[in-house]
Structure 1
Amino acid sequence: MTSVSGPESAARVAALLENRRKLLDVVDAESARWRGAGSALGRLEELLAALRGQADASERLRAALDGSALRDLGARVSELLDLHGQAAARFARGTVNLGVSGQARVGKSTLLQSLSGLTNAEIPAGSGIPVTAVRSRICHVPGQSRAVLRLHTPESFLAESVRPYHAYLGLAAAPASLEEFAGWRYPEAVEDSKAPLLQRVVAAQRALWSYREDLVGSGREVPLAELRGYVAYPSQSEVDGGNPSRRYLAVREARIECEFPHPGVGRIGIVDLPGLGEMAADAERRHVAGLRHDVDAVLLVKRPVEGMAYFGAADGRALALLDDARGLVRRTGDFVFLVVNKGSGDPESLAAALHGHLTSEVNAGLPGRHFTVLETDAADPASVQERLLAPVLAALAERLPVMDNDIVAGLAERSEELARAVLAATAGVEAELGRLRGHASAPAEDLERQAETLREDLAADLAEIVGRMRVEAAAREEDPDFAAAVDEAYTDLGRWIAEGLGSEEADGAGGAGAAGAADGGPADAGHRQRWCDRQLRQMRVRGGSAPVATDEFNRIRVEVARRFAAIDGYFEERVRGLHRQVAEVLTRHTGRLLAPPAAAESGAAADGPAGPGPETAEGAAVLLRLREMFDDGYEPCPGLSSAVADLMELRLDYRTQLHPRIRAQLDGLSLDVLDPSSGRMRSQIAVEVSAAGADELYEFITTRAEQAAYRTRTALLRDSVIPALVLYAAVEQFEDALIRSGASAREFRRFARTYRNELWPGRYEGLNSEHARFAAVTRGCREVEAALRGRPAHGGTDRTAAEKTKETRW
């Protein structure tokens, strides 16, 4: 394995971290998709519960749609989101983290000192008993020397540090407050295997005085000189002296910032991972939680000393623990490096024995086959740099992208597997709905009569709207509202012309002359003079009046069209008015189906068919709600849905309906016009480049602009019947498509079967009300499917529900 120089190492680490930013985008996008799918699954489960909870829901329905599969899938989605969150935390880190782990007395703390440059005063090393008590992150920060502690709250301390002991000791209860913990009566003796755990929790109880005030749940900065008391167990002499301080019990994690002694480590982090092989309750579980996605590689330290120069059962458990900690990384050997800490005084024979045992027991007889084994003297920083840190960073430069891709690929595999399961579940729900539909339906004859009556009632009222629109279109009389809108636009355009053809807008000038402009008073003279001054400068720059006149005519033509386009507000109101009229008819004949949600829930319409008038709901909103019901009912009605969609798409606007018809009125707004006598184009005006010429040009152009405005107004008023004709054609087509299409009668029967309880409240409630909620469940299924596909549940207006269900599943 080749090592790398400090600068080369730093460049490789920076490249690794940059690559992770791209992976982070992938993980974040998938997280968003699954959050949407999880929410949609939750809503679907609620809808199924509501369907099962109907008072008259059949036992068959309750059994078929029990929802247990969806609940299980919801739990799996939460687990997948946790994995995405862990991966996102890994890829968002600004450092490559090396975890240092191992059993007590192997030199782990000594190795941490050599890696970080810290000393016994900050990371204590010792022999005989475990020393480091708190998980620590050590970061390279040039010129910095401090520690930031993340402290427990009383609640988190009891939950994470006390209750696990109670569970392992088999105690029936656990303290709920510090006061209860302080006064808790522990048994004097337990079985031998649990005795050390009992002693630990009793020691924590006795030392509560030393750390109780530290349980504040916030961060605390401490000088490195004071760190030892927060992260280390008391020494044996302190224990022998009585009841020592145990402030480490208040610390969840320590972040140590200092300047590392090795080159090229600016973006390397070191994580001290105590707990491996310790007796502390729940230590190993927390150890795994600390490793997964929080470190990129683990240095598992072994020491060739008497009694430890072999790979034993405890080491096997440790390796199995690390194998679990690798998560979605495929090879444990990419994640774990075995480090033999051979000091100068360690016997060569024991080192050789340890290497040989690692080869036979861990690497199946072939050195490096599964795990890389490195040897260094943990007490010698130079040896640590050359024989450990450099080769580890070289290996990570090659294998860390592979591990990262393993994680992304593993998440993708789990996502795909779960997506298939979710889609199969929603398809199963829809299939069950299909089998359940109509198994206890209302008498068919009565319902068919009601459906036909509904169709007849709608036909009669829609015919009245069509009749009114026909009369209005045939009368060809000027609509006073249309005329008012046209005159308002004409007046606005006249004001703009009088104000120097927008010279105020062009120059940013304003104020003094504006008030009298509309009356042709002194303000006109000021506007005119500003226009002339500006255009005279332009004529001098451009060498004549023709370019200036051409630009002005072009600008005026655009402005005329723009100002008259203001009548679109009139058109929009006409369309809204038609939608309101149709929506009022539909609402009046559909019971509580189209009532706003609050009215429907309160049952305000339960006593009769009357629904809300146009004042309670916008016409377009009512039409949209009806179209969704046509689409998403358990018996879809694509023909009726298409009729509503066409009416909703009706547009009236000046640019498409009227401007092409009156465009000829603007032909005079051009410098060159056709000479009828010669049949050739000729220039309308040419003036000298002088103040008098500019004034003459102004007079000519404004006259032409006023003429064009007047002709456009006249042409628009002459065509004032066009909006009525368009509206008449649209509502007549809607009536035909809704009432008289080939599928109309059949789809009205489908509509009646799907929504009978909302259409005729109280008439069929006593027989069966399941179908009333089927449509909501169907929409819920499609919402889940749409979330997984990353698009809205409803597509364009031309896609029917039947077409949607035929789409290839993701």
Structure 2
Amino acid sequence: MSNRAETLAKIIEQRQPLVQSIADVEEHLRNLTNLLRSLDQRRHILKDKLDQPEVCDRLSQIDFSPLRLQISTQLEQLHQLRDRFSRPTLNIGVVGLMGQGKSTFLQSISGLTDDEIPALRGGACTAVRSTIYHQPGEPYAEVTVHSEQTFLQEVIQPYYQELELADPPKTIDEFAGTLPEFSGTDATKKSMYEHLKEDYHKHLPMYRHLLLSGAPRKLPPIPKERIHEYVAQRRFPQGELITFDHLAVREVKIFCPFKNSDVGKIALVDVPGLGDTRLGDEKLILETIGQEVDLVIFIRRPDRLRYGWEKRDTDLYNTAAEALNNLENRSFMILNHVTGTDDNMEACQKHQTSIHDKHIDVIRCKIADCSNSEETNAILDLVLNYLANNITYLDEQHARVYQKKLKELQILLNAELEKARLVWSGGLIVDDINEQGKFLRLFNKLWANLTRGLEELLDQLDIAKERDEQDIFKQQVESIIQTCKSDTGIPTEEPLNEIIARRFEEGDWQTTYAKYLHEIRNHLTRHFHAMDMGLKEYVKQAKSQVTEVLINQGNLGELTPARGSEFLKAMAEIIPDNLVRLKHAFQTLSNFEMSYKANFHYRIRPHLDNLNPDKTNLRLSASNAMDSREIKAQEIFTYLETLQEEALFKCQHALEDFYGEPGQAAFAEVEEFVDQVLRAKDVKNEWQIFLFQEKAQVWSKEFGDNQEGDDRQQWLSLVDQSIAANSLKQLQFLN
């Protein structure tokens, strides 16, 4: 791989941490949206409920709906940004008006022909957006066709709206019916109507089989010789279409080896040329450039007789600039030099010297013969070298535009949230000093009781761990061992006859012996899986002990009717997301589990090796003509009994060494929980915030009848959570 190819590959790899950072910000924005929705819902409830005109008036002045819409827009844009940086290639968009040589340029680089990238004289040739990837091997294409729904929404509906043809069809059958007449006189719109009528409507039966309900779908890989069926619009001289499948195509990806194999991980994005009267081209350019390309190559073929930049050139540039910020540092202009009798070199030179006069600002404006492979690949080298040297900086500049929008939105949200905080007379967090003092006295007493209760529970579990008092698990193991002894999986009724019959099924004694070993080993391990019951019961018991302390010493029983291990799960759901340490502690303990498969299976397996025909040390003796069937069957039966007993004996003794492990694991998990809820930094503050929000339930006698205070506190709690979620740190994906 060349240095440049390595550089491009490294750039793609370096984008991945940014991709994850953007995804994290998206998650924070979704959480913020949910909080704002809750605030709006609470606002409506309070306005109808409260008998406080001043508070209701302030509530009426708050509305988070427009800001939630802005967040939704930002989420869509961040998703597009993440998709851009997630791509496995750097994409170069090739854009030009109809008939300027764009397809010829792509042919020269890729080695493809008119069959795959049509570049024919006359009208527009390329029918759909194509992306061409450098990949060794025989060329092929991945074709995505429209569903019925996307075909109607993205292709047909724009015609109905632009031409004002009444309501757009909602089903394919409706579109297949009589097409509304167009009564306008505008020549351009008349031509649009002809496209709709003569191409899409008239020939619907020819491509309708590709349009299915549901989502757009990929067709099986298309070989090189059939690619043209999906990308080219071929017509008779009179303009009538010859091929029709392209009418149903949404997107095409072509994979082929480029002539210059040293290009690295790049893709060329080909957008249908503007200039005909088919609708959707400008929207397609905006979407493609805005979402899928890192750099643009404009293709322009000056007319040798009537040259000069035209309005359509500046319109095209402005369209691209609207989609891709910093276009002046992300675009090249190629002036297509036609040789022979139509030589336009003078026109190309005139355009080259006057390009900046028209404010078409690009990195470089170069003259090249788009049909000449050597010249076009030299242009590609120039573009790739520029990408290798500048794309990291350009990526950062591009991302900063989105970061700036988020910061502006964050400022707007802060202003609205500050209004929400001041709804109750400046937004005091507690009713008054007396209420605050009462809460702190009750909290300190609860904290002392909870701390003592959890510490004493740890001492109990530690003592039980040291004494190996694991009765539940021990009894479970002993019961399983007895079951394994009574249910061995070895033939019991007329075992020799059964073994002899099995030998005729299998064909020989060795295979019969091997099959029995596999079956007995699996039979034994199935019994051990019953160990899960004891392990689960032990974990459940440990969680229930923690729950008892939280309810009895922590006074948390009124927060949920759940008890036992389910109490921890319910608490993890009740605790707000912004109380990160506290919520995580309950989630972790609630999710703690032990199982035979995870904790003991790997320790038992080595003791079963002698029941593996490839590893056993008891091999069948060589058969000879003097051996009777009964002798061989007896040998197998004896070996099976011996090996099963030996394996069970080893497993039993191994498990005896592990009797204390469930207690040790449970103690470690509970100790970690106690560390997180009592000793972690700032966790006491989180307990205060949480218990103040729930004080009416935790201390119902002291706070239960203060409905006004509860309404205010619930509102302020939501506001505080929203402010925390709206912090700039949470919404920052760039340093």
User: Is TM > 0.5 for Structure 1 vs Structure 2?
Assistant: yes
Q: Residues 371-424 of structure 1, C-alpha deviation per residue, up to 9 Å, x if partnerless?
A: 4111111112122223x2222223223332331121233333333333333334
Q: Residues 70-117 of structure 1, C-alpha deviation per residue, up to 9 Å, x if partnerless?
A: 333333333333333323323232222222221112122211211111
Q: CA deviation at 1:322?
A: 1.4
Q: CA deviation at 1:618?
A: 5.5
Which whole-Å CA distance do the structure 1 matches of 2:389 and 2:576 have between them? 54
Is the counterpart of residue 384 in structure 1 residue 384 in structure 2? no
Which whole-Å CA distance do the structure 2 matches of 1:86 and 1:186 have between them? 37
Q: CA deviation at 1:26?
A: 2.1
Look up the equivalent residue of 2:225 and give its one-letter code. Answer: A
- Out of 573-582 and 229-238, give the one that drifted further: 573-582
8 Å CA contact retained: 2:355, 2:361: no
Q: CA deviation at 1:219?
A: 1.1
Aligned with residue 34 of structure 1, among 20, 26, 32: 26
Q: Residues 727-783 of structure 1, C-alpha deviation per residue, up to 9 Å, x if partnerless?
A: xxxxxxxxxxxxxxxxxxxx9xx9999889976899676x89742632442343244
Which whole-Å CA distance do the structure 2 matches of 1:17 and 1:582 have between them? 59
Query: 2:336 is matched with which residue?
Result: 341
Is the counterpart of residue 87 in structure 1 residue 81 in structure 2? yes
Query: 1:18 is matched with which residue?
Result: 10
Query: 2:232 is matched with which residue?
Result: 232
Is the counterpart of residue 114 in structure 1 residue 108 in structure 2? yes
Which whole-Å CA distance do the structure 2 matches of 1:393 and 1:628 have between them? 50
Give the TM-score normalised by the residue count of structure 2: 0.63
Q: Provide closer, same or farther for how the CA distance between residues 86 and 622 of structure 1 changes in structure 2, counting only shifts above 3 A.
A: closer
Query: 1:298 is matched with which residue?
Result: 296
Q: Residues 457-496 of structure 1, C-alpha deviation per residue, up to 9 Å, x if partnerless?
A: x89x99xx99xx9xxx9xxxxxxx9999969955879xxx
3-state SS of paired residue (1:239): coil
Query: 1:218 is matched with which residue?
Result: 217
8 Å CA contact retained: 1:56, 1:768: no
Q: Provide closer, same or farther for how the CA distance between residues 224 and 69 of structure 1 changes in structure 2, counting only shifts above 3 A.
A: farther
Aligned with residue 191 of structure 2, among 190, 196, 200: 196
Which whole-Å CA distance do the structure 1 matches of 2:17 and 2:434 have between them? 55
Q: CA deviation at 1:583?
A: 4.4
Q: Provide closer, same or farther for how the CA distance between residues 357 and 785 of structure 1 changes in structure 2, counting only shifts above 3 A.
A: closer
3-state SS of paired residue (1:362): helix
Is the counterpart of residue 400 in structure 1 residue 391 in structure 2? yes
Q: Provide closer, same or farther for how the CA distance between residues 227 and 137 of structure 1 changes in structure 2, counting only shifts above 3 A.
A: same
Q: Provide closer, same or farther for how the CA distance between residues 438 and 326 of structure 1 changes in structure 2, counting only shifts above 3 A.
A: closer
Q: Provide closer, same or farther for how the CA distance between residues 782 and 434 of structure 1 changes in structure 2, counting only shifts above 3 A.
A: farther
Is the counterpart of residue 169 in structure 1 residue 163 in structure 2? yes
Query: 2:715 is matched with which residue?
Result: 774
Query: 1:581 is matched with which residue?
Result: 552
Which whole-Å CA distance do the structure 2 matches of 1:413 and 1:438 have between them? 32
Aligned with residue 282 of structure 1, among 254, 262, 280: 280
Look up the equivalent residue of 1:345 and give its one-letter code. Answer: G
Q: Provide closer, same or farther for how the CA distance between residues 624 and 787 of structure 1 changes in structure 2, counting only shifts above 3 A.
A: farther
> How many residue pairs were aligned?
546
Which whole-Å CA distance do the structure 2 matches of 1:68 and 1:161 have between them? 41
Look up the equivalent residue of 1:73 and give its one-letter code. Answer: L
8 Å CA contact retained: 1:145, 1:259: yes
Q: CA deviation at 1:616?
A: 11
8 Å CA contact retained: 1:100, 1:300: yes
- Out of 102-111 and 392-401, give the one that drifted further: 392-401
8 Å CA contact retained: 1:304, 1:341: yes
Which is higher, the Rg of structure 1 or of structure 2? 1
Which whole-Å CA distance do the structure 1 matches of 2:570 and 2:252 have between them? 57
Q: Provide closer, same or farther for how the CA distance between residues 227 and 34 of structure 1 changes in structure 2, counting only shifts above 3 A.
A: closer
Look up the equivalent residue of 2:147 and give its one-letter code. Answer: T
Q: Residues 148-204 of structure 1, C-alpha deviation per residue, up to 9 Å, x if partnerless?
A: 101110110000000011111123310001100010432143232311111111121
Give the TM-score normalised by the residue count of structure 1: 0.58
Which whole-Å CA distance do the structure 1 matches of 2:573 and 2:231 have between them? 64
Q: Provide closer, same or farther for how the CA distance between residues 455 and 278 of structure 1 changes in structure 2, counting only shifts above 3 A.
A: closer
Which whole-Å CA distance do the structure 1 matches of 2:572 and 2:328 have between them? 63
Query: 1:419 is matched with which residue?
Result: 410
Query: 1:554 is matched with which residue?
Result: none
Which whole-Å CA distance do the structure 1 matches of 2:72 and 2:312 have between them? 34
Q: Which stretches in structure 2 are left out of the alignment for 5+ residues?
A: 471-480, 486-539, 586-688
3-state SS of paired residue (2:70): helix
Q: CA deviation at 1:265?
A: 2.2
Q: Provide closer, same or farther for how the CA distance between residues 308 and 428 of structure 1 changes in structure 2, counting only shifts above 3 A.
A: farther
Q: Provide closer, same or farther for how the CA distance between residues 20 and 428 of structure 1 changes in structure 2, counting only shifts above 3 A.
A: farther
Query: 2:49 is matched with which residue?
Result: 56
Look up the equivalent residue of 1:224 and give its one-letter code. Answer: K
Q: Which stretches in structure 1 are left out of the alignment for 5+ residues?
A: 1-6, 474-480, 494-510, 516-568, 588-593, 600-611, 633-640, 646-746, 792-809
Look up the equivalent residue of 2:217 and give its one-letter code. Answer: S
Which whole-Å CA distance do the structure 2 matches of 1:196 and 1:624 have between them? 61
8 Å CA contact retained: 2:285, 2:320: no
Is the counterpart of residue 262 in structure 1 residue 257 in structure 2? no
Look up the equivalent residue of 2:395 and give its one-letter code. Answer: D
Q: Provide closer, same or farther for how the CA distance between residues 114 and 772 of structure 1 changes in structure 2, counting only shifts above 3 A.
A: same
Is the counterpart of residue 209 in structure 1 residue 205 in structure 2? yes
> In the TM superposition, what are the counterparts of 1:433-582 in structure 2 within 5 Å?
433-435=424-426, 489=466, 579-582=550-553
RMSD: 4.9
Q: Provide closer, same or farther for how the CA distance between residues 786 and 277 of structure 1 changes in structure 2, counting only shifts above 3 A.
A: same
Q: CA deviation at 1:212?
A: 0.3
Q: Residues 567-601 of structure 1, C-alpha deviation per residue, up to 9 Å, x if partnerless?
A: xx9999988655543445x86xxxxxx442xx7xx
Q: Provide closer, same or farther for how the CA distance between residues 186 and 42 of structure 1 changes in structure 2, counting only shifts above 3 A.
A: same
Look up the equivalent residue of 1:155 and give its one-letter code. Answer: Q
Q: CA deviation at 1:789?
A: 3.6
Which whole-Å CA distance do the structure 1 matches of 2:459 and 2:266 have between them? 74
8 Å CA contact retained: 2:335, 2:365: yes
Look up the equivalent residue of 2:195 and give its one-letter code. Answer: R
Which whole-Å CA distance do the structure 1 matches of 2:464 and 2:346 have between them? 103
Q: Residues 248-300 of structure 1, C-alpha deviation per residue, up to 9 Å, x if partnerless?
A: 11111111112222241242311111143342222201111011241222221
8 Å CA contact retained: 2:8, 2:265: no
Q: Provide closer, same or farther for how the CA distance between residues 68 and 186 of structure 1 changes in structure 2, counting only shifts above 3 A.
A: farther
Query: 2:600 is matched with which residue?
Result: none
> In the TM superposition, what are the counterparts of 1:367-378 in structure 2 within 5 Å?
370-378=362-370
Which whole-Å CA distance do the structure 2 matches of 1:252 and 1:400 have between them? 29
Which whole-Å CA distance do the structure 2 matches of 1:73 and 1:297 have between them? 33
Which whole-Å CA distance do the structure 2 matches of 1:485 and 1:297 have between them? 64
Which whole-Å CA distance do the structure 2 matches of 1:620 and 1:233 have between them? 61
Q: Provide closer, same or farther for how the CA distance between residues 93 and 187 of structure 1 changes in structure 2, counting only shifts above 3 A.
A: same
Which whole-Å CA distance do the structure 1 matches of 2:572 and 2:321 have between them? 59
Which whole-Å CA distance do the structure 2 matches of 1:219 and 1:148 have between them? 7
Aligned with residue 131 of structure 1, among 104, 125, 129: 125
Query: 1:501 is matched with which residue?
Result: none
Query: 1:715 is matched with which residue?
Result: none
8 Å CA contact retained: 1:583, 1:619: no
